Structure 1
Amino acid sequence: MFFSPRDLRFHLYEVMQAEKLTQLPYFAEHDRTSFDMVLDAAAQISETLLRPLLTVMDRDEPKLVDGQIRVHPQLGAIIRRFGDDGWINAPFTYDEGGQQLPATIMNAATFIFGAANYSSSVFPFLTTGATNLLRSFGSKELVDRFTPMMYAGRWQGTMALTEPDAGSSLSDITTSAEPTDVPGEYRIRGQKIYISAGDHDACENVVHLMLAKIKGGPAGAKGISLFAVPQKRFESGTLVGNDVQTAGIYHKMGYKGAPIAHLMVGSGAGAIGYLVGEPHQGLRYMFQMMNEARVGVGMNAVSIGTAAYYASLEYARERPQGRPISEKDPARPQVPIIRHADVRRLLLFQKAVLEGSLGLLLQCSYYADLAHAGDGEVAQNAALLLDLLTPIAKSYPSEMGCLTTSAAVQVLGGAGYTTDFPVEQFYREARIHPIHEGTTGIHGLDLLGRKVTLHGGKGVQLLVADMQKAIADAKTHPELTYLASQLGEAISHLTTVTTYLLGLAADPTVFLADATLYLEFFGIVTLAWQWLRQATIAQAALPTAQGDDQAFYQGKLMAARYFYEYELVKTLSLVHRLQSTDHVTLEMHSDWF
């Protein structure tokens, strides 16, 4: 088992009541049955197609041969299966051949795919992100030219931003664009690095959604435009090369089955690129895809962590080692290691972080659905909450996923460090997520420097109101009063720290020096809110629950207790640090290291 269908449905139907989305006209053709069919289909594909390739894709990584990257031979059929079954364009409208599937259900499905085999799961949904940019901002001509083949899984889509001297600093990109004699066409020259699925032989073509600067345009970020740059383009009805060359392939520590490429663009006559939308609006357009991808990165981190958790849980239940600490008789049989308190601590740590994070990410997906398909104040408030929570939803699961997969390795002990068990692979694969789609440091700056004050701080006000509602709901159960009170205190600390830091905003260097720690603080409090909501549902259900359900709800309550006892208490030290006047990181000189 690499995920729990019971836990996923608990989040969707008991905590979030995702069926309510079908009351919105855009989702009206769906119901609980159709949602379950989607989840069951995702599990079936994962078990039969993705999971069997988990280890082999890690061991036999892609290779650059004669200028093209070769991937696992079964990937072509898998990507086309995603196209044939409608996964790539599932969130889009019926008129476009989509299913108008809520992001909440779509992201639940991607969670299943990622838990089965992260490397194989990225290909189709990179294309989803690229086609969404085209359909949102491109002309009808571009949409008609590219998206049908991309929806079918025959053409790959990518996001091509990063350059050798311009990683997160996109204003410094140097890739250029010069207009041709054909309106909307440009010759693109430059290079892009770390392009996920930027070249491979599992699809017939690759369409790069690429940032470049039109010559003569404004300097910096204001001069960035967005282009669709295919690896091959049609000429007289035939696909021909488009001067996009694969210069190299990067060898990664994890998620090795999905290649990242170094692309040389326009080394010869210049690659033909097609302007998407208006000139000099590329960064604004690209941020749509990036914000969607950031929630996706958080979900991928939870997927991998969840697979590691269940692998370590299975091992702990089966591996005999030692005896209870109070048992001294060596003649007594050994017990499974799950009987030892420290192993249960390692397992509870994983469960608390991952199931709390899954709740947050599905909550963000729910906000995305309300913002997209709702109207009026409901849609506006959902958009504000999503904007505020995105840096947390991306960064907290990503950072903590590195620790939970490490805990999974620790449960297995020496066996966990070997390739005979999958947890060492999950440990390696987890490390990319604090880097993908903006490093944790960047998201700390975004949260403290922009998101908490956006629209006069209304997003924070809305979030605190939701947290206070969760506290009130929990207090209707005497067993949860102490957890509710602890969350109330944490919210008070968060408000105090935020007010203190905003008072330093006149000096941005001091104000933002510990923005990453503020992000961590905010993330812990947010997860505590999610756990209080889960605990309230579990406590209400427990009196009438029987059998497996009773054990399930008891496990939820124990995980909530663990999070408050072992994780929420960490905020006390963060409160001290974030209000300290000792600015050691600013006063340290580079030559003192």
Structure 2
Amino acid sequence: MTFYSKRDLQFQLFENLRVMELTRHAYFHDHTKEIFNLVLEAADQIAENYLRPLLTEMDRKEPQLVDGKIQVHEGMKGIIRQFGENGWINATFPYEEGGQQLPNTLHMAAGFIFQAANYSASVYPFLTTGAANLIRTFGSRELIEMFTPDMYTGKWQGTMALTEPDAGSSLSDLRTLAVPTEKDGIYKIKGQKIYISCGDHDACENVIHLMLARIQGAPEGVKGISLFVVPQKRVPNGTSNDVLTEGVYHKMGYKGAPIAHLMIGSNDGCEGYLVGEPHKGLSYMFQMMNEARIGVGMNATAIGTAAYHASLAYAKERPQGRKVGEKDPSKPQIPIIQHADVKRMLLFQKSITEGSLALLLYCSKLSDIVHVGEGLEKEEATLLLNFLTPIAKSYPSEMCCLTTSAAVQVLGGAGYTTDFPVEQYYREARIHPIHEGTTGIHGLDLLGRKVPMKEGKALQLFGRELTTTIFHAKEKNELSTYAEKLEKYLGKAQQTTLHLLAKAGNHTEAFLADATLYLEYIGILTIAWQWLKQGITAQEQLEKGTSEHEFYQGKIMCLRYFYEYELVKMDALGKRLLSSEMPTLDMQENWF
């Protein structure tokens, strides 16, 4: 069964995003379109032959804690090693570090294929990528040589260990302690961490935790947080480093990857290696967190995409009912895809997932420019990426909960059974509004930090990009109506944002009370922009008389759908954001 569209991914990368522009930078200069296509084909083969066959099995046979070790599906050892041997874990890193200098955009596109095939299986290697990248970016030469080679091969797993029982999103309250030892750069670590993805499992030989802790005597709050490499087993002798697995969480979805509860230094025997300078751990960790936030948006989009294709295939095959107005029961039933309401649910899924994919690949291209660009290009890409990150993480995460629900609805009663994969996709989608910061936190980040950042410069850049797209769309008669609509909603969004910013100085709580709604509001505007960009690309091909008329016409129809059904939702959200009524602030705790 198809779980993503190869044709759409080609369109997104090479036609709409123009990813080949990246090769003008020296770092990517060796790459060609042929190489990029070979990367995508290799990803497709791994997904089809190794990940996809285990999708259901990994969901039914979830990890178990046995004698202090988490046991995962037996197929994962081979999959992780294959990712390592084929160079996926360090593909974006420089040649001199054994990498391929692959653009992050292509790495993310390959990740999208893996995630659509089997989300649980896909997370193991790319968690290691993020952890290794922190070590190679901020760690000493000694730490890099000690840890990264075996991480790159998949022999060792990498993790991000932040969350504690009483300090979830509030990292300023974390209490894991680091006490200096007589050995330079080595600390005794003591504490506990919860919800650690792939924090322990038997498909690797060691787990390397990138862990936040507070050095003894450090300042309170986020200014006192440092970053440490904390291996599960000591290097190089392989003895226990007193990192014990206390439990494994059993989840509603995403069951194939273990989420561990770790006790660190219970016997005063855990050693951790300081990464970079003391008290700068949170700023270092934000590199991995920001990368991971784009990744979470892509995870959600991939799952939503797989659910869409499953429901599309079912709708084409499932006969039920007849056209409205057809009363003759002797006439054959029609496939449900011919019913307007089913087409609405399919259009909803397609418009959200393909719109989100366009945004996420655009953000990935920005991250490549941040990495290799210079001067004004780099500065503007950095600002725009920072602004878009909370949107790119949260909009797909929230909306793909709804699109996977629509996929279940298309299948009707069959969708609610385990005989079809859409119920699994529905469960797996739900983690993403929580992973890497809840939607509420990203709302606060967007409105409270990113909008006023550098005196609103990032917001201005965002507006400039939309205005440029609107200008080009107006040049095409078929798209001028949509360009004018986007222009109108951009103007409304700018007025609404100014109205909210006016509250910031004298009533901060009221300013941020509806930050999550503001995030949704700007998210809709952002995806509408991405659809207009896709519309321009599709219309240009239609004007050339392409033989792929149906593909491009489908793009134009999705643009129409999004503007008619989704963009208009900004009206109600905007009305709420402009209101002076504040029931969420006025409500008293004991009135619930």
Q: Please, what TM-score do these two structures have when normalized by structure 2?
A: 0.99
* 1:98 aligned partner: 99
Alignment of 1:186-585 (within 5 A): 186-234=187-235, 237-506=236-505, 507-547=507-547, 549-585=548-584
The CA distance in 2 between the partners of 1:19 and 1:333, in whole Å, is 50
- Distance apart, 1:546 and its partner CA: 4.6
Q: What secondary structure is seen at the aligned counterpart in 1 of 2:504?
A: coil
Q: What secondary structure is seen at the aligned counterpart in 2 of 1:241?
A: coil
The CA distance in 2 between the partners of 1:468 and 1:172, in whole Å, is 42
Q: What secondary structure is seen at the aligned counterpart in 2 of 1:363?
A: helix
- The residue type equivalent to 1:288 in the other structure is Q
- Distance apart, 1:543 and its partner CA: 3.4
Number of residue pairs aligned between Structure 1 and Structure 2: 590
- Distance apart, 1:364 and its partner CA: 0.4
The CA distance in 1 between the partners of 2:566 and 2:87, in whole Å, is 40
- The residue type equivalent to 1:122 in the other structure is V
Mapped contact 2:447–2:519 kept (Cα < 8 A)? yes
1:55 maps to 2:62: no
Deviations 1:42-96 (A, max 9, x none): 0000000000000000000000000000000110010000000000000100000
The CA distance in 1 between the partners of 2:499 and 2:116, in whole Å, is 40
Q: What secondary structure is seen at the aligned counterpart in 2 of 1:419?
A: coil
Q: What secondary structure is seen at the aligned counterpart in 1 of 2:214?
A: strand
* 1:149 aligned partner: 150
The CA distance in 1 between the partners of 2:227 and 2:268, in whole Å, is 20
* 1:15 aligned partner: 16
- The residue type equivalent to 2:120 in the other structure is S
Gaps of 5+ in 1: none
- Distance apart, 1:229 and its partner CA: 0.3
The CA distance in 2 between the partners of 1:149 and 1:100, in whole Å, is 19
The CA distance in 2 between the partners of 1:395 and 1:476, in whole Å, is 32
The CA distance in 2 between the partners of 1:393 and 1:50, in whole Å, is 25
* 1:121 aligned partner: 122
- The residue type equivalent to 1:513 in the other structure is A
The CA distance in 1 between the partners of 2:366 and 2:456, in whole Å, is 18
The CA distance in 2 between the partners of 1:260 and 1:564, in whole Å, is 40
The CA distance in 1 between the partners of 2:561 and 2:327, in whole Å, is 29
The CA distance in 1 between the partners of 2:168 and 2:418, in whole Å, is 33
Q: What secondary structure is seen at the aligned counterpart in 2 of 1:186?
A: strand
The CA distance in 2 between the partners of 1:137 and 1:459, in whole Å, is 27
- The residue type equivalent to 2:536 in the other structure is T
* 1:139 aligned partner: 140
- The residue type equivalent to 1:80 in the other structure is R
- Distance apart, 1:328 and its partner CA: 1.1
Mapped contact 2:483–2:532 kept (Cα < 8 A)? yes
- Distance apart, 1:238 and its partner CA: 2.3
% identical equivalent positions: 64
- The residue type equivalent to 2:557 in the other structure is M
The CA distance in 1 between the partners of 2:144 and 2:39, in whole Å, is 26
- Distance apart, 1:539 and its partner CA: 1.0
Q: What secondary structure is seen at the aligned counterpart in 2 of 1:153?
A: coil
Once superposed, which parts of structure 1, at least 4 consecutive aligned residues long, lie more than 3 Å away? 543-547
Q: What secondary structure is seen at the aligned counterpart in 1 of 2:381?
A: helix
The CA distance in 2 between the partners of 1:453 and 1:172, in whole Å, is 26
- Distance apart, 1:459 and its partner CA: 1.1
* 1:76 aligned partner: 77
Q: What secondary structure is seen at the aligned counterpart in 2 of 1:390?
A: helix
The CA distance in 1 between the partners of 2:534 and 2:500, in whole Å, is 31
The CA distance in 2 between the partners of 1:140 and 1:326, in whole Å, is 74
Deviations 1:369-408 (A, max 9, x none): 1111111101110011000000000000000010000000
Mapped contact 2:298–2:360 kept (Cα < 8 A)? yes
The CA distance in 2 between the partners of 1:212 and 1:544, in whole Å, is 59
Q: What secondary structure is seen at the aligned counterpart in 1 of 2:568?
A: helix
Deviations 1:234-292 (A, max 9, x none): 3xx52100000000000000010000000000000231100000001100100010000
- The residue type equivalent to 1:98 in the other structure is G
Q: What secondary structure is seen at the aligned counterpart in 2 of 1:167?
A: coil
- The residue type equivalent to 1:536 in the other structure is I
- Distance apart, 1:544 and its partner CA: 3.5
The CA distance in 2 between the partners of 1:380 and 1:149, in whole Å, is 35
The CA distance in 2 between the partners of 1:565 and 1:269, in whole Å, is 62
- Distance apart, 1:31 and its partner CA: 1.1
Q: What secondary structure is seen at the aligned counterpart in 2 of 1:194?
A: strand
Deviations 1:526-576 (A, max 9, x none): 0000000001111111134455x1110010000000000000000001111
- The residue type equivalent to 1:322 in the other structure is G
* 1:30 aligned partner: 31
Q: What secondary structure is seen at the aligned counterpart in 1 of 2:239?
A: strand
- The residue type equivalent to 1:109 in the other structure is A
The CA distance in 2 between the partners of 1:383 and 1:463, in whole Å, is 12
- Distance apart, 1:326 and its partner CA: 2.2
The CA distance in 2 between the partners of 1:97 and 1:545, in whole Å, is 45
The CA distance in 2 between the partners of 1:342 and 1:162, in whole Å, is 43
Q: What secondary structure is seen at the aligned counterpart in 1 of 2:452?
A: helix
The CA distance in 1 between the partners of 2:221 and 2:450, in whole Å, is 23
- The residue type equivalent to 2:315 in the other structure is A
The CA distance in 2 between the partners of 1:374 and 1:130, in whole Å, is 24
Q: Please, what TM-score do these two structures have when normalized by structure 1?
A: 0.99
The CA distance in 2 between the partners of 1:14 and 1:214, in whole Å, is 50
Mapped contact 2:190–2:268 kept (Cα < 8 A)? no
- Distance apart, 1:475 and its partner CA: 1.1
The CA distance in 2 between the partners of 1:581 and 1:463, in whole Å, is 27
The CA distance in 1 between the partners of 2:217 and 2:463, in whole Å, is 47
Deviations 1:191-232 (A, max 9, x none): 000000000000000000000001011111111000000000
The CA distance in 2 between the partners of 1:440 and 1:71, in whole Å, is 30
Deviations 1:480-527 (A, max 9, x none): 111000000010010000000000002110000000000000000000
- Distance apart, 1:178 and its partner CA: 0.5
The CA distance in 1 between the partners of 2:72 and 2:389, in whole Å, is 32
The CA distance in 2 between the partners of 1:125 and 1:206, in whole Å, is 14
The CA distance in 2 between the partners of 1:34 and 1:405, in whole Å, is 33
- The residue type equivalent to 2:452 in the other structure is T
The CA distance in 2 between the partners of 1:589 and 1:269, in whole Å, is 46
- Distance apart, 1:431 and its partner CA: 0.2
* 1:167 aligned partner: 168
Q: Supply the RMSD in Å over aligned alpha carbons.
A: 0.7
Q: What secondary structure is seen at the aligned counterpart in 2 of 1:246?
A: strand
